[in-house]
Structure 1
Amino acid sequence: MGLFDFFKKKTLAAVDEVDYSELIEISRILSNDNKGLVDDVTLMANDYEKFQQAHEKWCSEMWEDSLNRHSALLLIAAYWFVGYETSHQFGAYIDWKEETEDILWQLKGAIDSLGYSLNLNKIVFTGEEFTDEALDKINAYLGVEGYTLVTLDTDSDCYHLFIVPNEKLDRLIYLGQSIGYTFFYNYKD
């Protein structure tokens, strides 16, 4: 398999054969090694059906059963990590047209959960920023502080945002690619 073959979209048969154990390390990076989240994701990665049974109500309300395993795991991970109707909040779920103060409010909750010493009040906003402009300003501030604002791409019109220490960014991107997930952090395009 050549380098370029690695980045090709996988067929449905190929995604069913993916080893999702890399989700465990991804959860460690995104949650600053939170035991509760890592335990949940370990179950999710190692026994998807048991995870579904353990969280039957949440899973049944989140998506249709018609999703293939790969798509279901991507959506579960994205929403579970950000704390959408769960006890975890290690990221932020925002709409593509979210107000800046709502983005900041959600990210502040994630910062508290992560235990990072970041003060988003230092960022100057005009109040006229579109969502991508606000995310770019937040990312610029985080970059100075040694972090990056990343999005787990769910191929939708929303953002699943996470704050990642810069020294863990390359590893996170690699782990995501190894299971067919994409993390991005350029909000200018």
Structure 2
Amino acid sequence: MFGSSKSQKTPWETTDGAVEDLLQAACTLHKTVEPQPDRLGILGAGSIGVKAESVRKAIDRLKNAVLSCAAAESDGKMQYKQVESVVERLDNSNPLFVTVLERLSEVHFHHFHEIGMGIPTVVKKALGWIQGSIQACLTTLSNANKISELTQRISTVGNRLLAAVSKALAVYSNTTTPDL
């Protein structure tokens, strides 16, 4: 045989990998917004927007992986341990997401105004898309869940993520220059 033979991943392995990809994309975005904004310059907004778009795409891949994982089960629902694992890792990474979103809304937004950029559309759009992707992913995860005990936990984790995105998006949706 020529070349390497890649074994097919199970739907759960794909879902597990999608969670890891999301966490990696969030870490990459965190590294981008971690430095002081004056070190980023005008290109920094574009870089942040690109990294935020990577997070959105990772969320969408997770949603699709959850759908595939659920479809592979006879009842169309994911196993308890699978849903629990996804929710647990999203919950554990919540502080990372919140930190990134706070830096975007409290530090970088003001810097963008200081250098005369106004509202960086690329960041605003990426945040809106992230919000929509999170909502769709959480709905998919809730629908793939067959254990009522996890329904509230999915909702709680989701509400915290969505609240952080909404707060950051509200700053970027403001049409007036903030007090500097």
TM-score for the superposition, normalised by structure 2: 0.31
Q: Return the index of the structure with the highest Cα Rg.
A: 2
Structure that is richer in strand per residue: 1
Higher relative contact order (CA 8 A, sep 6+): 2
Structure that is richer in helix per residue: 2
TM-score for the superposition, normalised by structure 1: 0.29
